Structures are given as C-alpha cells and as structure tokens.
Amino acid sequence: MTPFRLKLSMSALMVASTLALTACDAQVTIDTTDSAHTKKDVTAKDANTFITNTEKELSALYLESSRAEWIYANFITHDTSALSAEVNRKMTETVVRLANEAAKYDELELDYDARRKLDKLKLALTLPAPQDADKTAQLSQIVAELGGLYGKGKYCKEDGSCLSLGDMTSKMATSRDYNELLDLWQGWRQISKPMRSLYEQQVVLTNEGAKELGYADTGAMWRSKYDMPADDFTTELDRIWGQVKPLYNSLHCHVRAKLGEKYGTDKVPQDQPIPAHLLGNMWAQAWGNIYDVVAPENADPGYDVTELLAQNNYDELKMVKGAENFFTSMGFDTLPETFYERSLFVKPKDRDVQCHASAWNIDSKDDLRIKMCIQRTGEEFSVIHHELGHNFYQRAYNKQPLFYQESANDGFHEAIGDTIALSVTPGYLKEIGLLEQVPDESKDIGLLMKMALDKVAFVPFSLMVDQWRWQVFSGQVQPENYNKAWWELREKYQGVQAPIARSESDFDPGAKYHVPGNTPYTRYFLAHILQFEFHRSLCEIAGNDKAIHRCSIYNSKEAGEKLNAMLEMGSSRPWQEALETVTGKQQMDATAMLDYFAPLQTYLDEQNEGRNCGW
Ligand code: X8Z
Ligand code: ZN
C-alpha cells in the first residue's frame, strides 16, 4: 500500500481509502492549514511550506495506518476491523482536508515539483470521502466490512463442511467435472450477496467526496491519474485493446472448440460465450490451468513447474528464496532479514486472514513484507515473483519524497514481477537445477499456448472490471442492474457467460477480491501490455540472441541496472518518461505482446480454419 494511495501493490488501496484525524487528535500538531492566507494572497513559498508540512503529517499517518492494516489483513476479527476502520477514517479525513486545501494554490505559478506534488495530493485517495465527519466514518466502516466479508469468505455446504477460496482454487484448476465445477463456482458467489447494499452506499459516499474535489465521480478521478487528460487515457485503453483483440478472439475460438470436444457442444455451444466455470479459474481470468485440454499435439514441453517444484522439494520458503534469487542475480540487494521474519507465506490454520497476495512496505523504507497463502504450484511461483516485484520497486524508490514513492503509474507496479516471471523459461529452470533438459524448439507452441492462456486471456478481463466500476460510479449502471451489467461486460469483452441463471439478489462483482477491496483493476491491463515491452527491451540489453519467448534476463547486470534506473524514479516524472528509460518510447504499445505470440497466432489461425468464431 501506499500512503494514501499507493504504495502498495494492493494493499495500498486499503489504506488509501479513508481518513483521518479528528480535531482533538493529539498527533495533529502540524499546522498545514495556514488559515491566515486566502486564495488571493498565497505565494509559492506558502505552497512549498504547505507541501513540506503535508509530507511530514502524511508520513506519520502512513506508518500508523499500514501497521493497523497489516494486522487487520493478518488477523481478521471484529476488533481489528474496528481499528482498521478507525485508521482509515483518520487517513481519509486528513487527505481530504489537505487535498481540498491544496486548491488554494491552483492558480499560482509553481515549479515543476511543487505543482506535481499538489496534483498527486488531490488524486491520492482511491475512495475520497465528503468533508463530513459522519459520512467519512461511515465510508471507512463500509470499507473495513467489505474487506472482512471477502477475507472471511468460505463456501459451506449443507453437510456442514466448508471450503476456503484456496481449496476451491485448487479444485477449479484440476477438476474436469462439469457439475463439480459448477457447484464450486456458485458456492463461492454466495459470499458476495451481503456486500451489495454496502457497495451501493459506498458508491454514493465516495462519489460525493470526488465531486467535492472537482471530479465528476470517483471513476473520473481514477482515470485522471495517468499524466494525461482522462478522456485521452480511455482512448488509449481502447486503442491497445484493439491491438490485442484479434489474438484474443483466435485463442477464444480455439479454446471453445476444445472445450466443446471435452464437455460436449450441448454444454459448450459453439456460437455462444464460454460457460465461465470451465476455464480453470474461479473468475475465468487466466486459463493456464486448462492447458491439458487445449495442448497442441506433439508440442508437449514435457515438464510442469508444479511437478518440478515438488520433485525438488520446494516448500513455500524455498519458493520465495528462489524468486528473490532472480532479482539478486540482476544486481539488486537481497531482501532484509525482517522480510523473512515478518512476512506471511503459509495460510494459518487457526484464524481468518486476507489470503489474496499483497506486498507491503510498512515504513516506506525497508520494512518490506509479503502476505500470501502460498500453494506449491507453478502458478503461485509466478505470483511470488509478482509480489517481490512490488517489494523491489518499493525499495528502489524509497529515497524519493513521499509524494513520489509510488510507481510511474499503477500499471508499472504490477508489471515488474511479471516481467521477471517471463524470464522463468526452460533455459532458466535448467540453469537453477530444476529441469534436466531444455525441450527443443518443436515444443515452443506448447509453451506459448500455456503462456497465452494466462496472459492473453487475462487482457479483456482486466479491462471489464473497471468498465463496470466506472459505469457504476457514473450512475450509468444503477444498483438494480449491478449484476446484469457485470455479465453484459463479461460477455462483451471476454465472451464468457454465467453457467447458471443470475439475478439481482446476486452480487458477482463482489466475489472478485478487488471489488470489495477497492483496488482499481485497469493497472493489471496496463501491466500485461507493459511487461512484454519491458521483457523485449531488457532482453535486448541483456544481449539475447534467442527467440523472445526463450529469453531470460537471469544474471544480467546490465538489464538490472536499466530496470533499477526506472524503478528508482518512482513517480517523480510522468510515466511516459519512465517508460522511455527502458523502452526508448513514450507510448504504450501491444506489439511486444503480439510479437511474442506471433508463432502461436499462426498455429491458431490454422486450427481455427473452418470454425465459426465469435459469440
Ligand atoms: O491481485 C493480483 C496480485 C496482487 S497485486 C496477486 N493480481 C491480479 C488478480 O489476482 O486478480 C495479479 C494479476 C491480476
Ligand atoms: Zn500486484
């Protein structure tokens, strides 16, 4: 997390949402209000004093807040929920007050950093509250409750047995039994029904806060965080999705055909969206787990990372050390001892925790941690790399002023660990002793298929989540249509459909962590585009001479140096400049992803010949 907004990977968000100190709070001793000045007579010097004081006040609050949020996420109880709500209230109230005060300096000519920091202050909250103590407290209470409902969520059957999300995730990955999958799919979606009215109230409250800060609604505020006009950002998203869509459509067509062969075309009709429970993942967001169903003939790479980990006795700690080793091989310092002392790697048996993986920097210096209920699978090995990417980023920018202690844009934060994981190639696995022999090139289509099922399939999902939220925030979607609108977008973007009838007594968006957790999701869309760009550029720097999907930047100090140069900038410059540091270009571009998968596109085109694609 991050201070009010950001820092974290995911957790930042939580913190971000709420507020602040009350007037009688003893800690509020820094006078940032400067009430003697009105908008007319303020000077640039006043603005700088305001910024300095604000940074001090927020640093202290951030530390307090991240400790409380860490404890809540690790021990979900009635009391920790109350403490989380309180610290969130204090943070939100403070940031809202300061952000509104910052408007005093709107018309002043300021130097680059002063203006940039004030802009960041205004945009710092994920969920702004109105300037009203009761409403702020109410919003914070809702935020904590929604998080708790998700974290405690389980599917309990009539016979009294209960399944955790982790249990269900494993079964969804491996079961090929249509009815069993359906049962799990609908069972998990029971947890979100009670979130609906809370979510509805949250939307009203936070929109009021966003309006007070000068935004049309909270969605408009989220879209304003990208160093370009919000409408231009939306246009960029459309443009990039347009680049990826043909590849996605080809993959969709092939996967649907294979699922039709597996389950029967009565269950998987060949002219309709795919039933959402058959794709190996609770949310149908990444499909790598059904690789066996779509595996190209004669292209089996002959290994599976989950099995390699088991054969080589990798437990959770060894998996984390393995991922850390990749970063240090590139020249990054090792993680501090406290990382290993304070992180959570294994799901505790005796209490509720927020198992969804997250990475934290508690003190904005080097108190780095991850919190993750690690399963011993190849999929989770990638997630560990993802999380450590957050931690290495956080440490790289820890010398920046508070307002710049975040990634260039939120997509960058999500992209770093994934970039590293793209280098977990067969060649790398051989180098670290996990794999005996690198499969020959005839197996590349199998490797690319597995990767595309995870990375390409994810792209439309990562776009539709915020399309839904933006429509909800803007009022285009009203509460009586929450679920209907969700499934319309699922169909439109992903071409998947609910496998059983849904109604407005359901709240399916709430069954995805980031909705009750209030984590914007467009960041993952950006990350999926960016990681292929970073991979391509860093491979070049590393002197790679192989096909791009066989390149690993393991051990490349040159690539590490270049990557670090971008990471340590934090958000001090517009993200376009950070992008340029590594890629030489200022515009995001999906051609790196398309080039990576070019051989697969050719294969898919052959396979799809004569098939009816689309939905
Ligand atoms: O939430 C995450 C990370 C933490 S930032 C585990 N991810 C998204 C998700 O799980 O839905 C990573 C990829 C997408
Ligand atoms: Zn992340």
- At residue 517's C-alpha, the angle toward residues 361 and 382, to 5°, is 60
Distance (angstroms) between ligand 2 centre and the Cα of 331 equals 22
Reply yes or no on whether the pLDDT at 5 is more than 80.
no
Q: Read off the pTM.
A: 0.95
Ligand 1, residues 169, 524, 526: which to mutate, most atoms within 8 A of Cβ?
524
Q: Which ligand is nearest to the CA of 512?
A: 1
Tokens 């002793």 correspond to 433
**Ligand 1 closest atom vs CA 358:** 4
DSSP bridge partners of 358:
371
Could you identify the atom of ligand 1 that is nearest to the CA of residue 458? 14
pLDDT, average across residues 25-47: 58
| Residue 5 neighbours by CB under 8 Å, 6+ apart | 12, 13, 16, 123, 124, 125, 126, 406
The residues, ordered by sequence, that sit 6+ positions from 286 with a Cβ below 8 Å of its Cβ are: 280, 453, 454, 455, 457, 458
Where residue 41 falls among pLDDT bands split at 50, 70, 90? confident
Measure the CA–CA gap between 204 and 208, rounded to whole angstroms.
6
pLDDT by residue (tens digit) across 480-517?
999 999 999 999 999 999 999 999 999 999 999 999 99
Residue 39: the pLDDT is 63
Catalytic positions: 356-357, 386-387, 390, 414, 514, 524
The residues whose Cβ lies within 5 A of ligand 2, an ion, are 9, 414
**Does ligand 1 come within 6 angstroms of the Cβ of 362?**
no
CA distance 460 to 492: 9
- pLDDT tens, residue by residue, 518-530: 999 999 999 999 9
Residue 386 CB less than 6 A away from ligand 1? yes
Classified as helix, coil or strand, 163 is strand
Q: At what angle do helices 444-474 and 196-212 cross, to 10 degrees?
A: 70
Strand, coil or helix: 368: strand
Distance 414 CA to ligand 1 centre (A): 8
195, 327, 378, 423, 481 from 375: Cα distances, Å: 27, 21, 9, 21, 36
Joined together, the tokens standing for residue 253 give: 């067509």
Residue having the nearest C-alpha atom to atom 14 of ligand 1: 524
**Using one digit for the tens of pLDDT, what is the confidence trace for 563-585?**
999 999 999 999 999 999 999 99
- Look up residue 124 and give its amino acid: A
Any atom of ligand 1 within 6 Å of the Cβ of 144: no
Q: Are 424 and 385 in contact (CB under 8 A)?
A: yes
Using the atom order of ligand 1, give the atom closest to the CA of residue 10. 5
Read off the pLDDT band of 10 (50, 70, 90): very low
Cβ burial of 26 (10 Å; 0-12, 13-18, 19+) is: exposed
Task: Check if 524 has its Cβ closer than 6 Å to any atom of ligand 1.
Answer: yes
Structural contact between residues 92 and 139, judged by C-beta atoms closer than 8 angstroms: yes
* Cβ 385 under 6 angstroms from ligand 1: no
